[in-house]
Structure 1
Amino acid sequence: MAEAVQQALMRHGVMLDAEALASASRIAGHVAAALPFLPPAQRLAMSSFKGEWTDLASDFFRAMTDKVASDGSAMSDRALERSPPKSETGRPAARPIAERAVELQSMLIEDWAGEVAGSTYLEEKLRIPRSTLHRWQRRGEVVALRKGGRKHVFPLAQFIDGRPVPGIGDVLSAIANPRLAWFWLSRPSPELDGRVPIEMLREDMVEDVIGAARALS
């Protein structure tokens, strides 16, 4: 994200020195990466904010500058302690799977899962009998996301020609939490060089995705 922001700033002719450009890109990247993991109430507050974003950003930088000036050395020590571990390539290593699971529990399905549908829709539109769908669910061959009490919905992107794409069951064997499994499947994955696992499964790149899921878990 930081790299994308930096390229966008340069493309629009923003005149910053190299260090300032890198700092602006990192900050914007971290903000964008953190937003999906905020509790729903906080994300709603952000989306409904009607104030002046430039003034808010200026206040943030003033507060950060004051903090650095008053507690610079301690802040540097804490930042070092909190820095994510580096992989052998020098890139930040992927966060532990359990840490992602904890953050995901507070997120609403509608906010992150993409198009989902219940068994009635799948039977009527995709001609998947309820009995077949429930059998797949019991065997761990399809991603079923609990919504409310006992109701489950199913991400539509996992189906091709009325069946789950190959590899879904293997991913669920590696990542047992269905929410976490689908969250990982439906987003660009650092473990797969930024590719989206579910798109790779739909293109029959099953072994690569399964290997990444097992390594992640």
Structure 2
Amino acid sequence: MTKSFDFGNEPRQDEFSCLVAKEVQRVLAQFAEVMKGGSSISLHMGKGRAADLLSATHQQTIHDDLTALASEFVRRLAAEAARRCDATARETAPRTAHTEGAHGCAVLKVRDQQSDSQRIEDWAGAVAGPTYLEDHFGIPRSTLHWWQRHNDVVALRKGARKHVFPLAQFIDGRPAPGIRQVLSLIANPRPAWIWLTSPSPRLDGRIPIEMLRQDLAAEVIQAARDFSST
């Protein structure tokens, strides 16, 4: 009498509960009809024997059906809960791993950038990237890029592709005059900046970048020419 409900991988608890409820109502309705039949049969067989026979037989059948339905209902609910739990775990685990992995990579990248900047500042002094120069010095990125292309500023490589710019070379948001000429004589920006920030015997121990900031470019350019020739 019991039915087996096969929903595959799509059952919902509310749908299954509704089906079970309908099945229980069907069984109860059948029970009511059987009891009515038992009353009519009792008129011909004798009230006690007919009622007892029908009542015992059908009550046992209904009891068995309801027990089977209840067991099937609980089993299906457990299976559905386990399936949904597994699906949620499979969906969440890769996303969590990806998120944690991406976050870890981002943290390491920031740490590497900070470490690179710290190493550069150890010998080059204070440096900054395009964002800082735009926010604090009012230098647009396009202008900074144009200066870099024409060697008007010293750009020190940080990492694979990025550059930072020593702050000492800027005066009122512009590069000190004479840097282009110095870079034409000392092409590599690192040794060029080291020379610009170190006391020069050719300048009586004065520091070239400080002289450029004081508009003494001619003396600095001549000293750079002598340095590059030797």
TM-score where L is the length of structure 2:
0.47
- Write out the 4+ residue segments of structure 1 that deviate beyond 6 Å after TM superposition: none
- Residue in structure 1 matching 2:190, options 157, 179, 184: 179
SS in 1 for 2:165: strand
**Aligned counterpart in structure 2 of residue 152 of structure 1, from 163, 166, 172:** 163
Aligned partner of 2:125: which letter? G
Letter of the 1:199 partner, please give it: E
SS of 2:164 mapped into structure 1: strand
CA distance in 1, matches of 2:202, 2:192: 14
What's 2:125 paired with? 114
Deviation at 1:108, TM superposition (A): 3.6
Q: Which residue of 2 aligns with 1:169?
A: 180
- Provide the rounded CA distance (Å) in 2 between the counterparts of 1:123 and 1:208: 31
Structure 2 counterpart of 1:139, which letter? H
> Root-mean-square deviation (CA), in Å?
1.2
Q: Percent identity?
A: 72
- The secondary structure found in structure 2 opposite 1:195 is coil
Deviation at 1:134, TM superposition (A): 0.4
TM-score normalised over the length of structure 1: 0.50
Q: Does 1:140 align with 2:151?
A: yes
Partner of 1:207: 218
- Count of residues paired in the alignment: 111
CA distance in 1, matches of 2:202, 2:159: 31
Q: Which ranges in structure 1 are unaligned for 5 or more consecutive residues? A: 1-106
CA distance in 1, matches of 2:193, 2:201: 15
Matched, 1:195 2:195: no
Structure 2 gaps, min length 5: 1-117
Q: Which residue of 1 aligns with 2:12?
A: none
Specify the SS of the correspondent of 1:143.
coil
1:176-205 residue CA offsets vs partner (Å, 9 max, x unmatched): 000011000011112211100000001111
SS at match of 2:194: helix
Which residue pairs with 2:227 in the alignment?
Answer: 216
SS at match of 2:199: coil
Please state whether the residue corresponding to 1:153 is helix, strand or coil: strand
* Residue 110 of structure 1, CA deviation: 2.1
Instruction: State how far apart, in whole Å, the 2-side matches of 1:190 and 1:109 are.
Output: 25
Q: Distance in 2 between matches of 1:184 and 1:214?
A: 12
Classify 1:124/1:186 alpha carbon distance in 2 versus 1 (closer, same or farther; 3 Å): same
- Of the two, which has the highest radius of gyration? 2
One-letter code aligned to 1:140: N
